[in-house]
Structure formats: structure tokens, C-alpha cells
Amino acid sequence: NNVTEFVLLGLSQNQKLQKMCFVLFLFFYLTIVLGNLLIVLTIVSSPRLNSPMYFFLSYLSFVDICYSSVTAPKMITDFLSEKKMISFVGCIAQLFGVHFFGCTEIFILTVMAYDRYIAICKPLHYTTIMTRRMCGQMVVASWVGGFVHSMVQTLLTTQLPFCGPNEIDHYFCDVHPLLKLACADTYVVGIIVVANSGLIALGCFLLLVISYIVILVSLRNRSSEGRRKALSTCGSHVAVVILFFGPCTFTYIRPSSSLSEDKMVAVFYTVITPMLNPLIYTLRNEEVKSAMRKLWSRKVTSDGKSKG
């Protein structure tokens, strides 16, 4: 490889717009970290939130923090930089991180849908199926699946020769922008990338759709109160799934292209969805809100005692 570093063109070349974006995305990133960290701390510290649903939610929030931290800090600092450089090794590391945490999130969302399916369609068998050990195995499988997927993407990319140009029309290193810079025929690699990324996103999304169709059909025989509770817990998950899977599928189900919309679409699944997840899961959930209030009251009480 002749290329030892890449230039990230970012979201915009406009100086004034970049300064506005710096403030906006710094706020977004702080909201992501603090909001998701609050959910993790609330679930870990509350004995009442010990069901599999909250166990998976705590891992989803942790993955959201990691996922956005791979791209957001670099993007935010680049808004104030004249030269938005990233080393070849740094670029490949970012590529690995994006796909590792992104794919892990896809699998965790799928596992959460399976949890809701068992809870609503097979309530009598729920405690015997969704044991603590089974939940732990599902989370481990999600991490392993994300790692394997990311290794495939990374190894495919590092095998390509890069001899110039070195400008990436994006705000982070991803497979499609890098394929366009490779000085070799990338048709076969592009097909494998679509099969690896796009089919995972689309396959999991179709599984989620089927599971919720089955859930909706099974709710016909429930009481109106039972339907309301079931739809309330599922509604939050459906909103997150649409926000995350929609943009992901749009980006990775098709071969490499130079659509200018790709950067804005990527903002949705790398920044907007991780930021909205805490709001979506807490605003509709009285148990989580109650646990957060107790956590806050304990903090206020302990602070009062330490001052006294």
C-alpha cells in the first residue's frame, strides 16, 4: 500500500456549518453517553429490574455507548480541524469497531424480540425457557456473532491495495467508501460485503417482523388490558428496530455506490438511534422511571448525609 493515511471529508465542507455541527453533535454524544449510562446504572442497581427484558436492555445501552464512541468523538473533533486525517491503522480499527458493535446491536435487538415473543406467546414456559443462563448465552452469542462479522469485513478490506487517492467521502471509515478507493477490481469483495452485512441486517429484520406478526395474532384472544400492556412493552422495541434497521438495511443491502445520502443515513444509526434509545425505553416504561427516581433519591440522601 502506498497510502499510509486517509482524509475524511466529513459531513460538510462549510466552515460555519461545521462549527454549528460541533456544538450539536457534542450535545448528541454527551446525551448518548449519559442517557445510556443512566439506564445501565438503573438496571444494575435496582433489584426489581431483574427480568430478561431489562438484562438485555442494559447490554443494548452499553453497546450503544461503545458503538457511538467509535465514530462520534473523531467526527466532533474533525469539525474544528482543517485537515481531517486518520492513519491507515486507525481507519481499519474504526472499520472493525463500527461493524463489531453495530452487528452486536443487531443481534441483541433480535434476542430482545425473541424474549418478547416467549413472554407473550408462551407465558407459562417463559421462566423455564428464558433462564439467567440462557440469557447470558444469548448475549455472548451476540458478541461472538458481531466479532466474526467484523473480522470478515476487516480482513476483506485489508487485503485490498490502496495506492491513491486517499480522500474518503464520509465522516468515518466504512467498507463502501474504502472499496471505492482500492486500486483493484472490488466486484467480488463488494458482493461478499453485501452478503455479510446486508443479509444479516435484512435477515434479522425479517425475523423481527415475523415475530411481531405472530405476537399481534396471539393478542387477539387477550383482554383489552392484556393487549395494552403487551403492546406497550413491544412498542418501544418496534420503534428502536425501525430507527436502526431501516438506515442499516438501506446502506448495506446494496452494492457500493456514491450516493450522497449515505452520510446522512449513517448519522441515524451511529448517532440518532443510540441517543433516542434511552428516551424511547424510559418514557413508556413506568418501572424504569420509578427505578430512576429511587436511584436519584438515594443519591440525594447519600449526598445529604456526607455533607452533614
The model's pLDDT over 235-280, given as tens digits with 9 standing for 90+, comes to 778 888 888 888 888 888 877 665 567 788 889 889 999 998 888 8
What is the C-alpha separation between 243 and 274, in angstroms, rounded?
Answer: 10
Return the higher-pLDDT residue of 153 and 303: 153
At residue 257, the pLDDT reads 60
- The residues with which 5 forms a beta bridge, in sequence order, are 87
**Residue carrying the nine cell digits 450522497:** 260
At residue 40, the pLDDT reads 92
At residue 205, the pLDDT reads 86
What is the C-alpha separation between 204 and 210, in angstroms, rounded?
Answer: 10
Q: DSSP letter string over 27-88?
A: HHHHHHHHHHHHHHHHHHH-TT--SHHHHHHHHHHHHHHHHHHHHHHHHHHHTT-SS-EEEH
Supply the DSSP symbol for 4: -
Closest CA to 207 of 139, 101, 56, 106: 106
Cβ-contact 143, 92 below 8 angstroms = no
At residue 300, the pLDDT reads 60
At residue 192, the pLDDT reads 87
Give the strand pairing for 5-8 and 167-168: parallel
Query: In the predicted model, is pLDDT for residue 23 greater than 90?
Result: yes
Closest CA to 172 of 86, 247, 63, 269: 86
At residue 296, the pLDDT reads 76
The model's pLDDT over 83-119, given as tens digits with 9 standing for 90+, comes to 889 999 999 999 999 999 999 999 999 999 899 889 8
At residue 59, the pLDDT reads 95
Residue 201 Cα distances to 142, 206, 250, 272, 295, angstroms: 13, 9, 10, 18, 36
Q: Tell me what the pLDDT averaged over the chain comes to.
A: 86
Closest CA to 268 of 241, 307, 303: 241
pTM for the whole thing? 0.89
Cβ-contact 244, 269 below 8 angstroms = yes
At residue 240, the pLDDT reads 83
Cβ-contact 237, 109 below 8 angstroms = yes
Query: In the predicted model, is pLDDT for residue 308 greater than 60?
Result: no
At residue 259, the pLDDT reads 58
What lies within 8 Å, CB to CB, of 208 at 6+ separation is 109, 110, 113, 241, 245
Query: In the predicted model, is pLDDT for residue 31 greater than 60?
Result: yes
